[in-house]
Amino acid sequence: MACVLMALAAGFLSTVGRELPAEAALAVSGSVVPRSKLLGSLAMNERPTHVSEPGSMFSKELANTGVRLPEIGFGTWNYSGGVEPLQAAIACGSCLIDTAEAYGTEEIVGKAIKGQRNRVFLATKVLPRNFKRRDLVAAAERSLRRLATDHIDLYQLHWPNLTIPIEEPMRGMEELVDAGKVRFIGVSNFSIRDLINAQAALRKQRIVSNQVRCSLVERTIEGGLLQYCQKNGITVIAYSPLATGLENIRSADPEGILRRVAEASCKSEVQVALNWCISKENVIAIPKASTAAHVIENMGASGWKLQPELARLLEDRIRYRRRGALEVAARRAVRWGMQMMGRWV
């Protein structure tokens, strides 16, 4: 009920009531509409008329841990929204909150979860400069103090450190698990090779997640990393699932495909873009939300399935980037050089 009231207050239901084209109604009911007919029938200048309020979000198991997480979590990179949006997310069931020591948001997250820690699955990250075992344990202690909690549910290596043997941070990670200060070990921005080496360095634990960039316009993980994670039961946590701003997707979408698919699906553009991400096996998304209204809209991306024909329109007609092996190798070499100079990227 609280979720519905917030949605009403945000004005999400103010535009419902206009009829959709017949083709859109067919799309919602599950019938397959020919691509040309669908695109031709949706008015180019119409904005989506329906924004869904959250119902029951779907959940996915975190690796093979038995822990189920909502498909839509809450990311706090570059976040300045205060405690209210975070608390709105928790109240409505979006219990996965992701932060990092590099974000400067651990303290605000700690304030938001005060008194309801048991309702939250808390994820944070350690910077590459702290990957030596002793430094990693100390960094975790600092994060625990900022978060005002006695344990971290998912502790993640933020980026690969190409200058410190992976055995160092993994020893620290297992030490934290043994001490009850960390429940699960994850990584972020790791390649297949990084994942293999990191797992080999663990003696008792498994890597349960890899947090990587993924959106309609950034699809590098489809070059093999996504498939590897799916095959090996590693949950993919998609960050920047809205490409750091819906305008970045729109700029790659001169035909207005996203808007027209949103119209056909009775959803907002944000909800369609997020649903496309979480429609993939083992993938959950952590969009940011600056207001309670944004929380409600983001959560409305779950609980339904995008029609396959409409998903193919998004994939085929919106321009996207997928880095090739040469570019990935070049970026890795640059990262190694910067880390050798003490620049921990």
Residues assigned a catalytic role = 103
DSSP 151: -
User: Who's near 262: CB < 8 A, 6+ residues apart?
Assistant: 48, 268, 269, 271, 272
Q: Are 81 and 115 in contact (CB under 8 A)?
A: no
User: Who's near 64: CB < 8 A, 6+ residues apart?
Assistant: 206, 233
Containing 91, the helix (H) or strand (E) segment is helix 83-91
Tokens of 242: 């809205």
**How do the residues of the chain divide into helix, strand and coil, expressed in percent and rounded to 5?**
45, 15, 40
In angstroms, the Cα distances linking 134 to 110, 129, 131, 138, 194 are 24, 12, 8, 6, 21
Strand order in the sheet with 182-188: 74-75, 96-98, 121-126, 152-157, 182-188, 207-213, 235-239, 283-285
CA-closest candidate to residue 213, choices 193, 242, 235, 247: 242
Tokens of 37: 């007919």
What does the alpha-carbon distance between residue 246 and residue 230 come to, in Å, rounded to a whole number?
A: 27
Q: Are 215 and 69 in contact (CB under 8 A)?
A: no
How far is Cα of residue 280 from the mean position of the Cα atoms in its chain? Answer: 12
Q: Are 206 and 174 in contact (CB under 8 A)?
A: no
What single string gives the DSSP state of each residue in 250-311?
A: HTT-TT-HHHHHHHHHTS-HHHHHHHHHHTSTTEEE----SSHHHHHHHHTTSSS---HHHH
In DSSP terms, which residues pair with 125 in a beta bridge?
Answer: 156
